[in-house]
């Protein structure tokens, strides 16, 4: 009789245009405690720097196209080395949400993880500065997300945590 495959590890994906805001949201999520997380930072390392005691890895390249192999390899490495109960993926600002979902669902390794939720970080302070292409990308990220988390430079950590709690309590 074939062995029962292990359950897929839930993957929470954070999208958005501002790396610093995504790093603050990731830090707040990791600090909630009670869950054995690992973090994969595909957005330059700001989130990995704030991971604290949680295992963290970096993945470069566009996660939804040219960097898929590196993304998959980093996810497999985190799973093998640390055996987390959940993984937090901070996606690069340029990640197109539908392409990212497809990339995470491709390949043999995809049975090891499943996208449990997508969160989009919104910093109202940068919205006015966006060009048309960036604004369209952010709108796509927002529409594909299960929840939108508002996080600007002055957003208190307690406000971020309250938004995460609301998103997680709603089944996201």
Structural domain harbouring 36: 9-169
Is 4 inside any structural domain? no
End-to-end CA separation in angstroms for the chain: 36
Domain CATH code at residue 44 = 3.40.50.300
d(CA 162, CA 13): 18
Is 15 inside any structural domain? yes
Is 1 inside any structural domain? no
d(CA 155, CA 31): 16
Residue 26 has a CB neighbour count (10 Å cut-off) of 28
Contact 58, 48 (CB under 8 A): yes
How many separate domains does the chain show? 1
Is 46 inside any structural domain? yes
Is 41 inside any structural domain? yes
Report pLDDT digits (tens) over 13-41: 999 989 999 999 999 999 887 789 999 99
Give, as one character, the DSSP assignment of residue 110. Answer: G
Claim: this prediction has a pTM higher than 0.85: yes
Residues of the chain with pLDDT under 70: 1-6, 66, 107-110, 127-128, 170-172
């Amino acid at each position: 009789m074939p062995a029962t495959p292990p359950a897929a590890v839930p993957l929470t994906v954070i999208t958005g245009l501002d790396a610093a805001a995504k790093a603050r949201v990731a830090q707040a999520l990791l600090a909630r405690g009670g869950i054995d997380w690992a973090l994969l930072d595909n957005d330059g390392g700001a989130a990995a720097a704030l991971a604290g005691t949680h295992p963290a890895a970096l993945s470069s390249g566009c996660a939804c196209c040219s960097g898929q192999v590196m993304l998959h390899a980093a996810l497999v490495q985190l799973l093998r080395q640390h055996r987390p109960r959940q993984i937090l993926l901070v996606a690069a600002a340029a990640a197109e949400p539908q392409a990212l979902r497809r990339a995470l669902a491709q390949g043999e390794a995809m049975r090891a993880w499943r996208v449990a939720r997508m969160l989009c970080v919104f910093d109202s302070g940068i919205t006015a500065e966006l060009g048309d292409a960036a604004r369209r990308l952010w709108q796509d990220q927002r529409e594909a997300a299960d929840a939108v988390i508002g996080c600007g430079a002055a957003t208190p950590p307690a406000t971020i945590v309250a938004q995460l709690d609301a998103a997680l309590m709603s089944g996201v």
